[in-house]
A and B are shown apart, each in its own frame.
Chain A
Amino acid sequence: MKGMSIIVKKVTQLVSGLMFLYGIYIITHGHLTPGGGFAGGAILAGSFILLVLAFGSDLLKLKKREEGSSVVESLAIFAFLILGVMALFIGTHVFFKNYLPAGTVGNLISAGVIPLYNIFVGIEVGAALFTIFLALAIFKEEVLE
């Protein structure tokens, strides 16, 4: 897949980093403001998709497999499961219990395990959407010929 013109490439260089930062902001403030893991993960995937669409898969030297993003996704969902299972061994034996202290409402570090859940769900959703995009939109050209 070829890239686009020089104007699109320059604007993409300026914008995609900001989009990435905005996604991280949405994820980490998920328990204080609207947003959370799902929305922030989709924004992270959007910044990567913008990079790939503007520069093309040739220039970025992407390999022909989606192994990288798929492995990241699997690791994130594994960490999510481990966080949930750890509640079985700490305190009351309830699956997916909020076992860290809640803190005061409104601080950035509060709400127990919820920010950690948000971070892992964000990584998982972003990697999954990027894998779907790579598998469906980029790597199918080689077979169509």
Chain B
Amino acid sequence: MEIILSGILIFMILGAIYAIHARDLLSALISCGIVGYGLVICFLLLKAPDLAIVQIVVETITLIIMVSVVLVSTRFELDKEPGFKHKSRLNHQLLGHILIAVFIGIVLLYSFRLAIMHLDSFGDHTLRMSEAYLEGAAEKTGSANLVTGVLFDFRGYDTFGEATILFTAVVGILTILRIKGRK
């Protein structure tokens, strides 16, 4: 189990690195799709079918919206103009940049290691609150799907906040796109 998940995660990381470095925005978006659909497989292996359904639909719609935006506007990453010198990336500053990036990465990984040190190891999870949720949850809520029971009964207020955030985002998008800028 752990080996399969690690393989999928390494594949996702490679896709992410290619998406960051692609010169064409369309291929960058397609590589972003690699990461999103790899996440769907991880959710299925982790026994979370609700998350898999939501993620596969949301990822598809996000890719449709972003691809249509990119196709109407421009596909090139950076403008090629004489004002901006686009030198080759192999110069003497590259070594310093790599050193700084590796140093910061090691520091962040070390602090993450400190943060998860007291966590239970993978596959051996105990949380007191979720035991209270699991124990007799079907009798309390009457819902056979325990995730829906937690979402709408025990934590209905969270779900209401989430719906409000979606509403606010839609109103914000309509407002931003309707402002007329100064010419």
Q: Which of A102, A124, A133, A135 contacts B142 (CB 8 A)?
A: A102
B54:A38 contact, CB within 8 angstroms: yes
Q: A20 interface residue, CB < 8 Å from B?
A: no
Known: A36-B50, A74-B167. A42 touches B177 (CB 8 A): no
Q: Compute how far the CA of A32 lies from the CA of B145 in the bound complex, rounded to whole angstroms.
A: 5
Complex contacts, A128 vs chain B, CB 8 Å: 166-167, 169-170
Complex contacts, B166 vs chain A, CB 8 Å: 124-125, 128
Task: List B50-74 residues whose CB lies under 8 Å from chain A.
Answer: 50, 52-54, 57-58, 60-61, 64-65, 68-69, 72-73
Q: Compute how far the CA of A39 lies from the CA of B151 in the bound complex, rounded to whole angstroms.
A: 13
Complex contacts, A125 vs chain B, CB 8 Å: 163, 166
B interface SS class:
helix
Q: A43 interface residue, CB < 8 Å from B?
A: yes
Complex contacts, B73 vs chain A, CB 8 Å: 144
A135:B53 contact, CB within 8 angstroms: no
A10-18, A55-63, A111-119: which lies at the B interface? A111-119
Known: A102-B140, A112-B153. 4 other contacts (CB 8 A): A34-B50, A80-B163, A84-B156, A105-B138
B residues near A, CB below 8 A? Answer: 49-50, 52-54, 57-58, 60-61, 64-65, 68-69, 72-73, 138-145, 147-149, 151-153, 156-157, 159-160, 163-164, 166-167, 169-170, 173-174, 177
